[in-house]
Amino acid sequence: MPLLNESLREAARRSGLCWLATVDAKGQPNVSPKEVWAVFDDQHVVVANIASPVSARNIAQQPQVCLSFVDVFVQKGFKLKGSAHEVLAADSAFAFWAAPLLAMVGQCFVIHSVLVIRVTSVAPIVAPSYRFYPDETTEASQIASAMRAYKVHPAPQEKP
């Protein structure tokens, strides 16, 4: 079974942001949000370097990373650990790795490079309510709670 299976891919599609954790050569951590990212295949996640000089520099010094994402409404997601490398825009492999990211941004952003993560482990992220109150916690109840907290409402359904 692939590490990055279809349920993980679907959860990634529902998550707007991911958080990429890197470490510099002195062991100082850095966590930054990434808006343009995608599950590339069964082993790789790609992240657009639009404004990420610290992440790129840290990966060059220390390739171990952790990428996390959560669907804020159902309050479930995944933590992916692995090793990353940077593919610069001038590199011959850039078009290959950047393809899904370029499709997402069009002309809105310049992608300076792609941070390619080879995922070696996957762990679920689940809100504590699912564990501590399993009889009353459902995805529907979590969505309703999040909508109240964020003061949002479901989009009206289109009529056929």
Write down the domain spans for the chain: 6-127
* CA dist., res. 30 & res. 130, Å (int): 29
Give the pLDDT band (50/70/90) at residue 145. confident
- Whole-number pLDDT of residue 160: 66
pTM score of the predicted model: 0.88
Nearest to 62 by CA among 26, 113, 23, 118: 23
Burial label, 58 (beta-carbon count in 10 A; 0-12, 13-18, 19+): buried
Q: Domain 6-127 belongs to what architecture?
A: Roll (2.30)
Alpha-carbon distances of 86 from 112, 137, 141, 147, rounded to whole Å: 10, 41, 40, 37
Query: What would the pLDDT profile of 50-87 be if each residue is shown by its tens digit?
Result: 999 999 999 999 999 999 999 988 899 999 999 999 99
For residue 65, the SS3 value is strand
Query: What would the pLDDT profile of 16-48 be if each residue is shown by its tens digit?
Result: 899 999 999 999 999 999 999 999 999 999 999
Query: What would the pLDDT profile of 104-127 be if each residue is shown by its tens digit?
Result: 998 899 999 999 999 999 999 998
Within 10 Å of residue 36's Cβ, how many Cβ atoms? Answer: 20
